[in-house]
Structure 1
Amino acid sequence: GMKLAAAMLPMAMAFHVELIAKTDGFQTQYSVSMAIGTPPQLFDLIVDTGSSDMWVQGIDCTQCFNGPKFNSSLSTTFSPGCSRGTCEYTLAYGSGVSTAHVGQDYIALGTVPLAGKMQFGVVYIEDVTITHVLQNSGILGLGFEVMSFFTHPSPINYISSFALYLDGDKSIMSVNEVMDAFKGPATQWSTIPVEEIEGLYTYWTIGLPEAEFGGKQLCGTTQKRCQAVLDSGTAFIAIPPQKWPTVVIELQHAGCIAVNVGGPFECPDSELPTLHLTLGLLLILYELTKCLGTLNGYEVTMAPSMYSYPIDGSTSVLVGLIESPLELWIFGSLFLQYFYTNFDTTNKQVQMVALATTSVTELVPMPIAPQDQPSYIDQIYDEAALERFLVLVVICASISLIYTLIFRSNHHPKYEHGYFSDVLECLSVSIFQSSLGRRVLSMGIASGIVYNNSASRSNGLNNEARQPRVIISNPDKFASKFAKMIKDGPNQLLFIADFDYTLTPYYNVSGGRGHSCHGMLASSKVLSDEFFTKSNHLFQKFYPIEISPLLAHDEKEPHMIEWWTREHGLFVEYNMHRHHVEAAVNKSDIEFRSGFGPLFQDLATLNVPTLIFSAGLADVIYNVLRKVHGETILTPNLHIVSNVMKFQEPSGKLLGFEDPLIHCHNKNATVLKDSPFWKECEERHNVILLGDSVGDAQMAEGLPVHNIIKIGFLNTHQEEKLGEYLTLFDVVIINDGSLSFAHTLIRAIQGK
């Protein structure tokens, strides 16, 4: 398949580029000039910190904004297609949707070229709502890569930081540095850490522990703590739906009239409320300060003139407050124009300084009540300087917890709950009560495997956002199951694992999507180009259905049956032989996730019945195992249940496939009852299960199981699927993590 060479700027390169401000109906968009292709075609793309993809309007988009459009046929270096997944995407924004084909070409930011091709979208359909709003030829998304649909690596992976100065025709974007006026010790930066959402860096999200409008508390004290997104692609300030009614009532009391449902408002230029905000953290060791002291944030006071615009020829003003489409506040350019903001990609933080030309003179340090702050763990989970400290604390807490669960019934310590120093006890309790509590137990058990995974794929870039992570959905439930498995020992254990993208990584060494069993045969070109074209057509049609977070299990199943039936039919139609399978495997660069060898060696040593249960191809799996680990990996405890090819002897010609057809939604006991593995299940009732799809979570369904730990590898659509995976699996591993977590469980059950 196509391999994407990562475009990137040398980290030492620093420069400034002018931003173009375009205002329509009080909404200002800030764009940067970009050059695409050879020879270069020039476009103005909106600088959008609220999304992560880059796209430009194409000449096929007849209803698009009447500006420059990209003509791929005029670029001698344009490559259609993408490095992984489907090559056509529909993206939804607050202002509408765009549908794009994906391709690769050379890009220049301003006048600075990126080294190597970059993957981006060429829009060919744009709905009328976004066309009316869009004043430019596309979008340059500068959010974190986890939100990126097709721009891999995403734009911010090419730079270590960028800073935005938004002031009409004087606007500047600085890359890898700040403007000269803000260098030196005289500038008092307010540094605020970027916060995760559900364990992921997505938007440029900062804490909003307190917010007050007209004396009404919106966040903090009597209300829950909030979060806010710094979004240069949004013009106004957006307020979450649950807070919005309070704002509307205050504006109505001031005589305001809504221009549209959900704002903005036309208001008299008098008696408008003041908006008080408290941003982020001054000290990120929150849990320690909760035990030992207080905590500061940064107070911002926005007078009515700062969140409104004068209306020409009228005494009224337009109030730029709107209802947010998210459960988050959104601080758009109306807010950002009052601050010079440095977005620090490397350190996951933003640095802000109030502009002297505005009525805001400084960000004032402000004490914050402890109950209005997030957990310390949620704040620093990905901060390299504090990770080791966290791991040490969690290891101690986890060992204590597991020891208590296992041995408390048989041993009677002097103190019922053990002993910690006051500070450690406070910190330990906070860890397990935090929103991150569902994932920290994994670090204690696995002794830091989250941080030391050699199988992490990052396209050759220093991409901390894609560091593997282990998330535990319910720590108490997990600990209870795990304690029982340790007590029962390996003689009660079964091990079940999917193959494609579970035992093998999702990304290959080049950063592209790795091969599945079927994909390996299709892309190896051991058969004709015509076969490859037809097989790829099936992939493009059915793979988006397989991974879609919007379709139910029952809706997907008939499509999966059709896909596998037609794909298997192509193998027969194009005269596949046994030697083609062997040749395809030998040509491939397929590998296993880090930790596979030691894990399966221990399973064999303990004689734990081990099932590779796959909707792929048994013949491919056997050949891959032999290629990577030799015949010795095929131990007596290992069983493989997958689609089996029927070959004619002695010619080796493929005649068809044995029944039943196994696809990702029927992998359960119904296809296991006639297998040798079924007999192994009669006396063993504990299962560790590994999979990467919703269907994989049901692989033990119908087995006489009393206790099961399900580990899910979430490879795509992480933001959309994480909630569902945390419901289906006890443990979720994201960003192509290793098998070390599963191996650690086995060793603990073994007593090591």
Structure 2
Amino acid sequence: MKRLFFLTALCLALGSGLKRVTLTRHRSLRKTLRDRGQLSQFWKAHKLDMVQYSEDCSAFTAANEPLINYLDMEYFGQISIGTPPQNFTVVFDTGSSNLWVPSIYCTSKACTEHARFQPSRSSTYQPVGIPFSIQYGTGSLTGVIGSDQVTVEGLTVTNQQFAESVSEPGKTFLDAEFDGILGLAYPALAVDGVTPVFDNMMAQNLVELPMFSVYMSSNPDSSLGGELLFGGFDPSRFTGTLNWVPVTQQGYWQIQLDNVQVGGTVAFCKDSCQAIVDTGTSLLTGPTKDIKELQKYIGATPVDGEYAVECSNLNVMPDVTFTINGLPYTAHLPSLHPHGVQRRHGLLHQRLPGHGRRPSCWPPLDFG
């Protein structure tokens, strides 16, 4: 059994034989598009009305990967593929299971502006030839499966199958500050039945313990986003005792959420509900009806296709507390101001609604 440490955000790891991957924090693609005044153009180009988006999710299936998932990824790390190594910046994503990077055979601008894998330059590369495709609602990321050695901070996984993308949807990935995705979820989510990187690390006895842990810095002004550690955890990254939370279903890192409190009163998930720990997004998500009600609690209103609150009202906003395995984890909204939020014209922007990689339609809520 493999384990993911979950604490206030997620935890990290330390000890002999453990491997640390430094995570750097960059601006998310959504923030970049917003700063350029291009976010509303993005919604129109992809035929998405984000205020109405959560009203009808029937068009999306479990095999459908909505494009907006990648808009909010902010924490990236380095890996290499092949011999000699070819380097890539990837998102370590607990919400998916495949590894993919752009192929040299991909000629779209989204690919040519990023590092691309060249199989002919790797002496350890083996073609597999299985077609690979992830649907993104308005387009597909397509490619082919290959096999090579993948190195993550000194840990070299041999015969790792991964996807080489030859087509990426629209212009979405053009401004992204990552080249690809390294999925850390369970094999049940893997496209084409590919064994995930971490599962191969365990099978090849590369890690001391069958666990990994993640520390994410809360300092938005630092480019050092945190650390990912394979094989254990780092007790210096947290205080108190770890809250061990059972995985309820091995696909996503899925856990039971006891309840959600607003201002000290249980408002949602009153009889417990299921939740997913996802490092691939900066968002909190929940059922559409509940998130809309939560927006009313905090006074959020539609602005330019998103939701926003007046920064002057932060001090009177209620705390939002998530109870997990009997322990409370509180988002104290006033403490986010002025460093932890994105403001424009005196507004704090909330990313509602949207659709996540979930069995049902859950719009995101972003406090950061």
Give me the TM-score of the superposition, normalised by structure 1.
0.36
- Number of the residue aligned with 1:256: 301
Shift of 1:67: 1.4
Query: 3-state SS of the aligned residue for 2:146?
Result: strand
1:48 maps onto 2:93 in alignment: yes
| CA distance in structure 2 between the partners assigned to 1:323 and 1:273 by the alignment | 23
Select which of 178, 198, 205 maps to 2:254: 205
The CA distance in 2 between the partners of 1:244 and 1:332, in whole Å, is: 7
Q: Which residue in the other structure is 2:11 paired with?
A: none
Residue aligning to 1:609: none
* Correspondence for 2:20: 16
Give the whole-Å Cα distance in 2 for the aligned partners of 1:132 and 1:250: 37
Match of 1:91 among 126, 131, 134: 134
| Shift in Å, 1:171 | 1.2
AA aligned to 1:217 is A
RMSD: 3.1
Partner in structure 2 of residue 111 of structure 1: 154
Deviation, 1:333, is 9.4
Distance 2:214 2:286 in 1: 22
Q: Note the 1:124-143 alignment, pairs <5 A.
A: 124-128=166-170, 130-132=172-174, 134-143=176-185
The letter for the 2-side match of 1:136 is F
Q: Percent identity?
A: 21
Task: Report the AA paired with residue 169 of structure 2.
Answer: D
Q: 1:318, CA displacement in angstroms?
A: 2.2
Structure 1 residues 140, 151: CA separation in 2 closer, same or farther (over 3 Å shift)?
farther
1:450-469 equivalences under 5 Å are none
Q: Which residue of 1 aligns with 2:189?
A: 147
Match of 1:318 in 2: 349
Residue 75 (structure 2) aligns with: 30
Residues 67, 202 of structure 1: CA spacing in aligned structure 2 closer, same or farther, 3 A cutoff?
same
Aligned CA distance change for structure 1 residues 169 and 151 (closer, same or farther; 3 Å): farther
- Structure 1's 191 and 277: CA in aligned 2 closer, same or farther, altered over 3 A? same
CA deviation digits over 1:404-463, x for unaligned, max 9? xxxxxxxxxxxxxxxxxxxxxxxxxxxxxxxxxxxxxxxxxxxxxxxxxxxxxxxxxxxx
1:135-193 CA-partner distances (Å, limit 9, x unpaired): 2110000000100113632123124111111124151111102225159xx74111111
More strand by share: 2
Structure 2 Cα separation of the partners of residues 88 and 105 of structure 1? 16
Q: Is the 8 Å Cα contact of residues 20 and 30 (structure 1) preserved in structure 2?
A: yes
CA contact (8 A) 1:16 1:174 kept: yes
1:298-377 counterparts in 2 under 5 A?
Answer: 298-305=327-334, 309-311=340-342, 314-320=345-351, 322-325=353-356, 326=358, 327=360
Relative to 1, partners in 2 of residues 1:303 and 1:220: Cα closer, same or farther, differing over 3 Å?
same
The one-letter amino acid paired with 1:161 is M
Please name the residue that 1:179 is paired with: 234
CA drift of 1:117 comes to: 1.3
Matches within 5 A, 1:471-620: none
Q: Per-residue CA shift, 1:227-252, capped at 9, x if unaligned?
A: 1111111121122224233234335x
Name the CA shift for 1:220/1:255 in 2 (closer, same or farther; >3 Å). Answer: closer
Structure 1: where are the runs of 5+ without partners? 1-11, 282-296, 336-752
- The residue that corresponds to 1:241 in the other structure is 288
Seen in structure 2, the aligned counterparts of structure 1 residues 94 and 52 have a Cα distance that, compared at 3 Å, is farther
Alpha-carbon spacing, 1:213–1:180, altered in 2? closer, same or farther (3 Å): closer
Name the counterpart of 1:191. 244
SS in structure 1 at match of 2:236? helix
Aligned residues: 290
1:111 CA displacement? 2.9
SS in 2 for 1:150: helix
Residues 166 and 97 of structure 1: is their aligned pair in 2 closer, same or farther, counting only changes over 3 Å? farther
Match of 2:212 in 1: 162
- Report if aligned partners of 2:353, 2:363 keep a CA contact under 8 Å in 1: no
Structure 1 257/242 Cα, relative in aligned 2: closer, same or farther at 3 Å?
A: closer
Q: Which of the residues 51, 57, 60 maps onto 2:102?
A: 57
Match of 1:102 in 2: 145
8 Å contact from structure 2 (residues 184, 198) kept in 1: yes
Distance 1:153 1:303 in 2: 39
8 Å CA contact 2:351–2:364 kept in 1: the answer is no
* Contact 1:141-1:155 at 8 Å conserved across structures: yes
> Residues 334, 137 of structure 1: CA spacing in aligned structure 2 closer, same or farther, 3 A cutoff?
farther
Query: Does the Cα contact within 8 Å between 1:119 and 1:151 map onto a contact in 2?
Result: no
The 3 A distance-change label for structure 1 pair 312 and 321 is closer
In the alignment, residue 152 of structure 2 is paired with which amino acid? Answer: L
Distance (Å, rounded) in 2 between the aligned partners of 1:257 and 1:17: 39
Distance 1:329 1:230, change over 3 A: farther
Whether the aligned pair in 1 keeps the contact of 2:77 and 2:90 (CA below 8 Å) is yes
Report the CA distance between 1:312 and its aligned residue.
5.2
CA distance in 1, matches of 2:253, 2:232: 18
Higher helix proportion, which one? Answer: 1
- More contact order relative to length (CA 8 Å, sep ≥ 6): 2
Cα deviation, residue 60, structure 1: 2.2
Q: Secondary structure at the match of 2:74?
A: strand
With over 3 angstroms needed to count, the CA separation of the structure-2 counterparts of 1:16 and 1:218, relative to structure 1, is same
Q: Aligned AA for 1:69?
A: R
Q: 1:132 to 1:205 in 2, by over 3 A?
A: farther
Call closer, same or farther: CA 1:121–1:44 in 2, change over 3 Å: same
Provide TM-score, normalisation by structure 2.
Answer: 0.69
Are the structure 2 counterparts of residues 148 and 300 from structure 1 closer, same or farther at C-alpha, using a change threshold of 3 Å? same
Is the radius of gyration larger for structure 1 or structure 2? 1
Question: 2:115 maps to which residue?
Answer: 68
